[in-house]
Amino acid sequence: MSRILAARRLAPVLVAWGIGPSVSHQFEIEAKRDGAKAIEAEHMLLALAAGPGGDVAKLLGEAGLDYHRLAAALRDERRRTLAFAGMKVPDTKLVATTELDGSLTFGTSAKAAIRRALVGARHERHRRHLRSTDLLAGILDAELGTVPRALAISGIDRAEMASRAWGFKG
Amino acid sequence: MPTPPSPLDGPADGLAAASALRAIADELEDAEVERAMRAGWSWSQVAEALGVTRQAVHKKHLRRLLLAQIELRRRNGE
């Protein structure tokens, strides 16, 4: 599995595991919207939350979250983080550049989330397809980093949400 | 098992800040290199201003500058 995760293009792997190309595409949209050079866990989380009426939306809704609230939580996290270094969030015009063509790669936090989702799906249910809720659980299982910080700032019980995501049966 | 550290306390803010600042520094470098090259700076001038080698700037930024269709100065034009 580590060889798969080291590959530059993880999206086809996700598709093979039953995660639709539209979801992978949405990961990339969120990363580009954020001006990021790689897809990170927070972009995956936003992309999953962007799917209206799905299982992920249901789980997030139980915790009082939706796409817009998550996006706001991530903005709060960024503000707090930069404030630590005495900085404000820079004007997007200041750092605007020509966008590179081609697809983005998955960053470390995204790969870790996917690895946890794959391992969890395999161990717990002995199946060869991933649900979007497995990916959500894989993202929520991170204890440190941007997503847990954003959720902690918003007063969300991440561990509890992760355990509900793992136990989600649809 | 030891309790995991809080994502917000102790070194967590500082480590998150270090990571965020690194990303911003990269974005700022991309934007300013592009701006400098549009303004007709040479690779060597950009490298000198950044305090890195000409080769390093070239390797890191050439692809994006070509995509941006910026007219780049040749070496003998520097």
CATH code for position A135: 1.10.1780.10
Over residues B28-35, the mean pLDDT reads: 95
Tell me, yes or no, whether A2 lies in a domain: no
Tell me, yes or no, whether A1 lies in a domain: no
Over residues A69-87, the mean pLDDT reads: 96
pLDDT grade for A130, boundaries at 50, 70 and 90: confident
Look at A35 and B41; give whichever has higher pLDDT: B41
Look at A1 and B42; give whichever has higher pLDDT: B42
Tell me, yes or no, whether A66 lies in a domain: yes
pLDDT grade for A7, boundaries at 50, 70 and 90: very low
Kindly determine whether residue B17 and residue A146, on different chains, have CB atoms separated by under 8 Å. no
Tell me, yes or no, whether A82 lies in a domain: yes
CA distance between the termini of chain A: 27
Phi, psi of A33 (to 5 degrees): -60, -30
pLDDT grade for B78, boundaries at 50, 70 and 90: very low
Look at A69 and A100; give whichever has higher pLDDT: A69
Tell me, yes or no, whether A124 lies in a domain: yes
Provide the mean pLDDT of chain A: 87
* Listed residue (A110, A106, A114, A132) closest to A1, CA to CA: A114
Distance from CA of B43 to the nearest CA of A (A): 18
Provide the mean pLDDT of chain B: 90
Look at A128 and B32; give whichever has higher pLDDT: B32
pLDDT grade for A127, boundaries at 50, 70 and 90: low
Look at A167 and B76; give whichever has higher pLDDT: A167
Give residue ranges of B with CB < 8 Å to any A CB. Answer: 4-8, 12-14, 16-17, 20-21, 23-24, 26-28, 30-31, 34, 63-65, 67-68
- In chain A, how many domains are there? 1
Name every chain B residue with its beta carbon within 8 A of the beta carbon of A101: 67
Query: pLDDT at residue B22 above 80?
Result: yes
> What was the ipTM of the complex prediction?
0.85
Which domain range does residue A155 map to? Answer: 7-166
Tell me, yes or no, whether A147 lies in a domain: yes
Tell me, yes or no, whether A103 lies in a domain: yes
Point out the residue among B7, B16, B21 whose CB comes nearest to the CB of A143. Answer: B7
Distances (CA, A) of B32 to B36, B39, B57: 6, 10, 12
Look at B57 and A129; give whichever has higher pLDDT: B57
Tell me, yes or no, whether A127 lies in a domain: yes
Phi, psi of A97 (to 5 degrees): -135, 170
A93-124 burial: b if 16+ Cβ within 10 Å, else e: eebebbeeeeebbbbebbbbbbebbbebbeee
Look at A15 and A32; give whichever has higher pLDDT: A32
